[in-house]
Amino acid sequence: MQHTLRHPRPRKRRARNIFVFFVFLVLSVVAFSLVYHDRDQSVSAPPAYQASEQSVPQQDFPEEIASASSDQSPTMPEISSGIESISLDLPTIYGPQMPDGPYTVQRVVNAGDTAGSILRGWLSLSEIQAFSDACEDVFTMRRLRPGQPYTLTIEKGVLISFEYEIDQERKLIISRDEEGLFIARGEDIFYDVLLERVEGVITSNLFQTVADAGEGPALAIALADIYAWEINFIRDIQPGDSFVLVVEKRFRDGEFKGYGKIQTARFINNKTTFEAFLFQDPEGRPEYFTSNGESLKRAFLKAPLSFTRISSTFTNARLHPIHKVWRAHPGIDYAAPTGTPVKAVGNGTVTFSGWGKGAGNYIAVRHKNGYETMYLHLSAFAKGLKKGLNVQQGDVIGYVGSTGYSTGPHLDFRMKKNGVYVNPLHELTPRSEPVAQKDMPEFTRRVTVWREYINGGKDPLLFPPEFEKAA
């Protein structure tokens, strides 16, 4: 007997189709809900901003705005909802919560930042080019320095001004004129200045003593620069030496922003007293003078670099560390880390800048009155340094290294007078011009006033000197 069997596959196929349809229905409902949720989020206004006088941090702005760089005004990208496409511009997206007046965005320049990367969220490419061109005569945007602060002022999504601090003294300001064109100018940075008396006794070195007094290393460097022609801070400083000074401290918005000029100082080195009083030289430049009006500035610095140590002195017989033979060493070796800046000890003209075999990278400078100085074993030369260049006393001309015949990083500094090597430590050089005779009465009056402060008779914070009035 033949039996006919019914195949079970059609029933299983129907069940599977029902399951697939159910899953598709669920996914459709979820996707539809997500689309409307995204659209609602896209068109909602961001959190309310602070008052227009306060800074607005960068992270409060949509990423799309920060990266906008077309030739049109910044706009939000097209938003696809799956049902319809909408395009919203900047004022629409912020709606009634846009600040009524201008607000500021304050930041600092990061490494690699350019005018384009800073401004592309607010200006088109053509506007950025116009912006850069406008400030070229005041400050080129190619010289932005990492760490320097800048401020953007925005009104209704439009950049209306830009400020950048070029250095501690000057700032760049770019604004728009009535026609919307960019106008650039430079302005002085103004500080609240307070005078303060600082003193200390040397225990180990000048840096540590200044730090123990609660001050920064910049003050130690400034003090050493004043006496660079009188005191060799590499070999002359010893425990028990002392100093007292009156210095300007600069503040902005109540925040300490660094030191200004040291107005007066007294340094006692090995029981010898050195006083310094700030005054204008005969050409109107601020310089430091002794109490009788003599300039502290000489034709040559005591040393071509600061805060290091002498590893080898001037001698007619020294065992050469490499060749192991006795020979003259007509210079002073200053041991210092590679890269330490080397300064020209006096005004002069570069006569050589290059390789000298045993001397390695070295520089020769010709000065007045038959003097010549040489700087050996450098790791590198200052940018732009070349033969024929005129350099000024204190200019950085190179960097300590260990090139040529050298066993470690140091500067071999040499000096010639009329073609003959002389010991730089023993060479006495004439002082610069003294206070002009016609200015001596005013200078003498200032010396009298300032001595009250360095002697502790007056506190400059409580009794700031008023030089406009006769004593």
Task: Please give the pLDDT value at position 233.
Answer: 83
* CA 222 remoteness from chain centre: 16
Q: Say if 45 falls within a structural domain.
A: no
Answer whether 291's CB lies under 8 Å from 447's CB.
Answer: yes
Q: Say if 42 falls within a structural domain.
A: no
Domain final residue, candidates 153, 168, 188: 188
Task: Please give the pLDDT value at position 103.
Answer: 86
Task: Please give the pLDDT value at position 349.
Answer: 96
121/155 same-domain check = yes
The domain total for the chain is 3
Q: What span, in angstroms and rounded, lies between the C-alpha atoms of 409 and 406?
A: 7
Q: Could you tell me the CATH number of the domain that includes residue 117? A: 3.10.450.350
440/364 same-domain check = no
Q: Say if 303 falls within a structural domain.
A: no
Rounded to a whole number of angstroms, the distance between the first and last alpha carbons of the chain is: 141
> In the predicted model, is pLDDT for residue 64 greater than 80?
no
364/410 same-domain check = yes
Domain final residue, candidates 132, 164, 188: 188
349/443 same-domain check = no
> In the predicted model, is pLDDT for residue 266 greater than 90?
yes
Q: What span, in angstroms and rounded, lies between the C-alpha atoms of 45 and 34?
A: 19
> In the predicted model, is pLDDT for residue 317 greater than 80?
no
User: Which tokens hold the place of 387?
Assistant: 């033969």
Q: H-helix or E-strand containing 117?
A: helix 115-119
Q: What span, in angstroms and rounded, lies between the C-alpha atoms of 296 and 290?
A: 7
332/446 same-domain check = no
156/238 same-domain check = no
Q: Say if 22 falls within a structural domain.
A: no
> In the predicted model, is pLDDT for residue 65 greater than 50?
no
Please write the tens of the pLDDT for every residue from 82-115: 323 333 333 333 334 556 678 888 899 999 899 9
Q: For residue 379, count CB atoms less than 10 angstroms from its CB and return exposed for 0-12, middle for 13-18, buried for 19 or more.
A: middle
Q: Say if 5 falls within a structural domain.
A: no
201/182 same-domain check = no
Q: Say if 428 falls within a structural domain.
A: no
Please write the tens of the pLDDT for every residue from 358-400: 889 999 999 988 999 999 999 999 999 999 999 999 899 999 9
Window from 65-79, 290-304, 339-353, 455-469 with minimum mean pLDDT: 65-79
Q: Could you tell me the CATH number of the domain that includes residue 411? A: 2.70.70.10
Task: Please give the pLDDT value at position 222.
Answer: 93
Please write the tens of the pLDDT for every residue from 5-40: 344 445 555 666 666 666 667 666 666 665 554 444
* CA 379 remoteness from chain centre: 23
Nearest CA among 269, 272, 226, 273 for reference residue 246: 226
Q: Say if 84 falls within a structural domain.
A: yes
Q: What span, in angstroms and rounded, lies between the C-alpha atoms of 328 and 315?
A: 6
- Cβ density class 436-467: b for 16+ within 10 Å, e for less: eeebeeebeebbeebbebbeeebebeeeebee
Please write the tens of the pLDDT for every residue from 124-148: 999 999 999 998 989 999 889 999 9
119/180 same-domain check = yes
Q: Say if 36 falls within a structural domain.
A: no
Answer whether 304's CB lies under 8 Å from 413's CB.
Answer: yes
Task: Please give the pLDDT value at position 26.
Answer: 66
Nearest CA among 196, 148, 144, 155 for reference residue 169: 148
Q: State mean pLDDT over 408-418.
A: 91
417/439 same-domain check = no
277/325 same-domain check = no
Which amino acid is located at 354 in the chain?
G
Residues 6 or more apart whose CB falls under 8 angstroms from that of 94 comprise 45, 46, 157
196/180 same-domain check = no
66/170 same-domain check = yes
Structural domain for 246, as ranges: 192-297+433-454
Answer whether 373's CB lies under 8 Å from 346's CB.
Answer: yes
Domain final residue, candidates 133, 160, 188: 188
